[in-house]
Amino acid sequence: GQCTLWCPTAAITERDDIDKVVKALADKNMHVVVQTAPATRVALGEEFGMAPGTFVEGKQVAALKKLGFDAVFDTNFSADLTIFEEGTELIKRISGQIHEPLPQFTSCCPGWVKFCEYFYPDLLPHMSTCKSPQQMLGALIKTYYAKEKGISPDKIFSVSIMPCTAKKFEAARPEMNSVDKHAKKTELRDVDVILTTRELARLIKSKGIDLNSLQDEKYDSLMGESTSAGLIFGVTGGVMEAAIRSSYFLITKQEPPEALLNLTPIRGLKGCKEAAVDIPGVGTVKVAVVHGLSNARPVLEAVRKKEAPWHFIEFMGCPGGCIGGGGQPRTSLPPSDQVRQARIDSIYNADAHIYAKRKSYENKEVLALYQKFLENPNSHLAHELLHTHYTDRSKLLTVKKDA
Ligand code: SF4
């Protein structure tokens, strides 16, 4: 995928990261926790001979438990949480409570974030301050979960299963150590190791586990519940659709109309998509969705010229979104739209038919997290653990313009 381009850690061999996880799992003094991204559950099966898009959520959990992880959490949970944090930020920008510019940009794709830091650093104030769902869950595993379980954060080893190679760079960013400050420890990373979907498949196979024969298992509680609004983060347009479902409710205190639950104009593989949504009390909210970084440039140029009509823009580095990430199974080479579409269809099928809840504000474990720990979206503690800042990297560009 394109994200490899932005990943200086690509040189780290896959074997190194698998070894680190194997070592942690064998260490009886470590409590090893894992989270799984929305997009891996519609692709992992391809490594075991299943058709593209086969939904293996429960089998993936079963495989992780068999591998010996002490807790299996869902990045969908923190995607739901992101909606609270990012939606609240958007409402504050629109209402003028904070003086950051519109349109707000999504910040959950590290490939996109780094692209903006290099080529459009003047637009960084548009970037949501929210960390990605992976980094949010990482910070919570070593604070909230550690506290609930009575485990010292330095005895927790935190692993993420991601469709993405750029996530390895993201977790290594110096500022992704909010746990340090909170736990008054040093050298604690919010997430310790990322395994791509392909690396997980290799680990599963190396232990002689056959994914096909596993019975479905469920995520662990505390941070394992999710709604399908969190799940659709895995496809282009999904973050935006999830945000609109919840923003409507957070603003109007009413359930969103059926049409907003299936926002078809921003679904599918077209490079740049748009929608306009009427929210009582706010007016028409205009949104855009962009995937593939080459499609981002014209949109960003329009923002630069102050000609962009949108309030909120979703950017994803990989064509199709995370289902097409650089760490996913290479079921077709080069990656084909047919495989991407099969994975997308599987996610929307689960959204419509498998998940019981479709709106982030229905996630009871997220509500409990606010009640017991964070207090409110964008609270002081939420800012400390779940938000971040960005760096102008344009000076690091080594390409000489006159060369
Ligand atoms: Fe990673 Fe997803 Fe961004 Fe691709 S779209 S770089 S998989 S976060």
Q: Residue 368 maps to which CATH number?
A: 3.40.50.1780
How far apart (Å, rounded) are the C-alpha atoms in residues 250 and 245? 9
Atom of ligand 1 nearest to the CA of 132: 8
Token pair for 220 = 């662990």
How far apart (Å, rounded) are the C-alpha atoms in residues 238 and 291? 11
**Which has the closest alpha carbon to 188: 203, 178, 198, 200?**
178
78 is catalytic: no
Give the distance (Å) from ligand 1 centre to CA of residue 371.
31
Give the residue, by CA position, lying nearest to ligand 1 atom 8: 109
Give the distance (Å) from ligand 1 centre to CA of residue 155.
29
Domain membership flag for residue 299: yes
Token pair for 42 = 């519609």
Domain membership flag for residue 394: no
Give the distance (Å) from ligand 1 centre to CA of residue 164.
5
Q: Annotated catalytic residue: which of 85, 117, 170, 314?
A: 170
Q: Which residue stretches of 103-237 are H helix?
A: 110-119, 133-140, 146-149, 166-172, 178-183, 197-206, 228-231
What is the number of domains present in the chain?
Answer: 1
Identity of residue 97: Q
Q: What is the pLDDT, as a whole number, of residue 178?
A: 80
Domain membership flag for residue 86: yes
Q: Say which residue the tokens 């990656």 belong to.
A: 335
Range of the domain at 69: 2-387
How far apart (Å, rounded) are the C-alpha atoms in residues 361 and 378? 15
Beta strands 283-291 and 272-279 are antiparallel
Q: What is the pLDDT, as a whole number, of residue 401?
A: 52
Q: Is the ipTM of this complex over 0.95?
A: yes
Q: Which residue stretches of 275-352 are H helix?
A: 293-304, 337-349
Domain membership flag for residue 333: yes
Average pLDDT by stretches of 10, the chain with 403 residues:
44 76 97 98 98 98 98 98 96 93 98 97 98 97 96 96 94 85 76 97 97 98 98 98 95 93 95 95 94 97 97 97 97 91 98 97 98 97 96 83 49
**Cis amide leading into 329 (omega within 30):** no
Q: What is the dihedral of CA 99, 249, 148, 234, to 10 degrees?
A: -80
Q: Annotated catalytic residue: which of 7, 46, 114, 128?
A: 128
**Which has the closest alpha carbon to 316: 45, 86, 1?**
1
Q: Annotated catalytic residue: which of 46, 78, 107, 108?
A: 108
170 is catalytic: yes
Give the distance (Å) from ligand 1 centre to CA of residue 93.
26
Domain membership flag for residue 164: yes
Q: What is the dihedral of CA 313, 315, 321, 327, to 10 degrees?
A: -150
Residue 3 Cβ inside 6 Å of ligand 1? The answer reads: yes
How far apart (Å, rounded) are the C-alpha atoms in residues 268 and 399? 35
Domain membership flag for residue 340: yes
Domain membership flag for residue 362: yes
How far apart (Å, rounded) are the C-alpha atoms in residues 347 and 232? 6
128 is catalytic: yes
89 is catalytic: yes
- Spatial CB neighbours of 251, under 8 Å, sequence gap ≥ 6: 91, 279, 280, 281, 282
Q: Quick one: DSSP state of residue 220?
A: -
Domain membership flag for residue 392: no
Residue 113 Cβ inside 6 Å of ligand 1? The answer reads: no
pTM for the model: 0.94
How far apart (Å, rounded) are the C-alpha atoms in residues 311 and 276? 10
Q: What is the pLDDT, as a whole number, of residue 400?
A: 52
